Chains A and B, each alone.
Chain A
Amino acid sequence: MSTLARRPQLLRWLFVAPALLYMAAFFGYPLLRNVLMSFQHYTPTTYFTGEAPFNGLANWRAVFADPLFTEALWHTALFTAGSLLGQFTIGLALAVFFSRRFRLSGVVRAVLLLPWLVPMVVSAVVWRRILDQEHGVLNTALQALGLSDGGVPWLSSPSVALLSAVLVNIWIGIPFNMVILYGGLQEIPRELHEAAALDGASPWRAFRSVTLPMLRPVITVVLVLGFMSTVKILDLILALTAGGPADATQTLGTVTYQLSFLRLDFGQGAVVGNALVLISAVFAVLYLRANRADFGQGK
């Protein structure tokens, strides 16, 4: 009797087991190790001897005491907010534009996807040349158009470099936003727009009162996914400015890279990594709650 009673339960667990095991091995374990590591004196010696003595809060204190961490946190916030704002606004505008059918719209839409297909390091290297203060294409073009005297220090001034990095990242992120939002727009029943038009709603009013509310779940997805890939940015910055000039483009990503892979202080690197995980986790929870609310409404 008891085995029979337990059988369905056991069966249920067996179905869940592969997924659980996978999650535990490839997400849980590394995450746990990273948290542990941040409390350990984890150096090259550890790899040879296997010993990583616990050192309490020493890593955390060292990282938080470094003014660079606060600077990097601030830069990360600015970079993420700026990138998302730009990517989303332009992506949405393009999605709305392309949701009206016209000749060649498919071709143009496909071309706009290109930045997304190019590896980020390649984009960054190309942009590094475009933005060169002396002989970059952008400055030469601006000069030819009479818009500047040709010497905009895109990457060589600490007050401009972060903005340049944001602009490049916006360029990279537009296609992703456009594609997802375009998909969302296709899902909105045409009748709603027709009804709004019959009621005398202006296009702007229809966009605000029909399109935006209907698009909300998709917008949440785009913003949260965008946030998570932007907040941990590393490759773009490394190839574009290497964190310079004068640390103006140091982000949490570059700081953790420097600590772990250049100074080989894996404990301190893990502290910054954990901070990143924590920030992402907060937004992931917000996303889940928002989603649940949306689905609740749908039902």
Chain B
Amino acid sequence: MHSRAARPVLAAITAGATAALGLTGCAAAPDPGTVTVLNSATDTAEHTKNQRFFDRCARPLGLRVEQISVPADQVSSKALRMASSHSLTDILELDGSELPQFARTGGLRRLSDLGVDASGFSRSAVSLGSYRGARYGVARAANSLALYYDRDLLAKADVTPPRTWDELRAAAKRLTGGGTYGLAFSASPDADGVYQFLPFFWSAGGDESRLDDGAGEAALELWKELVADRSVSKAVVNWNQQDVNDQFVAGRAAMMVNGPWQVPVLAAQKKVDWAVAKIPVPEAGGRAVSPIGGTVMTVPKSDDPGRERNAAKILDCLNTPKNQLDWGQATNNVPTRTAAARSYAERNPELAPFAELVSTARSRTARVGTRWPAVGDALSGAFQSVLTGRSSPGQALQRAQQQATAGK
């Protein structure tokens, strides 16, 4: 009789445990003195650096900051899982291109409601953290793309850093030879390739909300010609931005398109004497339009206004001009307050092109908002099919526009 009774109990325990496992996830009772942050600082050095700045801001307020770090491509799915179990962190640090999808859910607090200081930021930085005119995220620092070049190789070939597309083609051709390509860029079918295509696409007048309006074709034409000239390796369709940097450091590319986050690697090597120039524009006197990239810190809505206020205080502190400048120095990214960006350019003259770009750069989501992932996919499809000879620039962008607007 005892054993008979035991079995249903066991079954009930199993059922209960299973249900409990499914329902609670890993929600823990939040400690009022702790501000939690979800970010992508999985790298130990980066995690420690972040913690130093968080501590600097939290201590005077009598608070503690606890980071939860997951790989960058898992931040959004982790955040969604946390949201569904009501255990989202007090600060959520997202990639700027992911912000609209989260802002649209209504789960993020408008920063103006929390009184987060919005003065003195560059227009592009504000745009990076905004959705439909409201500011949801603040970027401490941001990045963009520029043209790195190998001083020795350029001097040897008697080439000056190109400023226009014609000069770029000519320079890349002259610099190619003996196992070295004139130029390297990333044309991988993911966010890296799309990010690198944008400065060319936008500078040519391309519009991400109307991919097939003809203006962007010139950018595809340029990439295609560079590969056809053999000034750029055909393998760029496989290279991400890290691969591009590897090629440059190995002396296999005389110039490359890349971001300031490569500076630590470049500074640590002695082989290549490098410098940075602005990305060439279609015609002399034209304006270069580069993309702004980086993460933004947001404040998810909470049942406890006190937690939101604490998060807002931390954000304000992290973004004082001094802290922005220190953070920019520590991470090789450009501060987003215009005054801090200016000091940054003065302190790092070799990175001045980035400082200038970041304050004028364009946000990927400013025009298309939550549709950006679909548009980005469509754009990568376009340059991949052109570079592999599958379609002409015109056809590729027409198809891309259809893909980007399918189901809309």
Of chain A, the residue at the smallest CB distance from B371 is A263
0/1 interface trace, chain A 198-230, chain B, CB 8 Å (1 if under): 000000000000000000000000000000000
Which among A45, A62, A157, A248 is the interface contact of B406 at CB below 8 angstroms?
A: A62
CA distance A18 to B9 in the complex (A): 12
A25 touches B8 (CB 8 A): no
Compute the total of residue contacts between A and B using a CB distance below 8 Å: 119
Query: Interface size bucket, A side?
Result: 35 or more
A135 touches B381 (CB 8 A): no
Q: Which of A62, A241, A244, A261 has the most CB of B within 10 A?
A: A244
Of the candidate stretches A47-55, A79-87, A108-116, A286-294, the one touching chain B is A47-55
Of chain A, the residue at the smallest CB distance from B18 is A25
Interface of B is mostly: helix
CA distance A225 to B80 in the complex (A): 33
Which among A21, A44, A66, A245 is the interface contact of B189 at CB below 8 angstroms?
A: A245
A245 touches B237 (CB 8 A): yes
B234 touches A263 (CB 8 A): no
B8 touches A14 (CB 8 A): yes
CA distance A293 to B306 in the complex (A): 68
CA distance A18 to B10 in the complex (A): 9
0/1 interface trace, chain A 237-263, chain B, CB 8 Å (1 if under): 000011111111000000000100111
B8 touches A48 (CB 8 A): no
Which among B15, B101, B237 is the interface contact of A44 at CB below 8 angstroms?
A: B101
Of the candidate stretches B102-110, B140-148, B209-217, B273-281, the one touching chain A is B102-110
B105 touches A133 (CB 8 A): no
A47 touches B406 (CB 8 A): no
Q: Take A44-B102, A258-B377 as given contacts and tell me if A244 and B189 are in contact as well, using a CB distance cutoff of 8 Å.
A: yes
- Least CB distance from B181 to A in Å reads 8
A32-83 interface (Cβ within 8 A of B): 43-50, 58, 62, 65-66, 68
- Least CB distance from A138 to B in Å reads 13
Question: At the interface, yes or no: B252 with Cβ under 8 Å from chain A?
Answer: yes
Which among B7, B18, B238, B252 is the interface contact of A155 at CB below 8 angstroms?
A: B238
B106 touches A47 (CB 8 A): no
Which among B14, B76, B107, B235 is the interface contact of A132 at CB below 8 angstroms?
A: B235
Question: At the interface, yes or no: A17 with Cβ under 8 Å from chain B?
Answer: yes
Of chain B, the residue at the smallest CB distance from A157 is B388
0/1 interface trace, chain B 369-408, chain A, CB 8 Å (1 if under): 0000110010011001101101000000000000100110
Give residues in A with beta carbon < 8 Å to B: 14, 17-18, 21-22, 25, 43-50, 58, 62, 65-66, 68, 128, 132-135, 153, 155-158, 241-248, 258, 261-264
4 further A-B contacts with Cβ under 8 Å, apart from A156-B237, A242-B188, are A45-B105, A49-B105, A242-B189, A245-B189
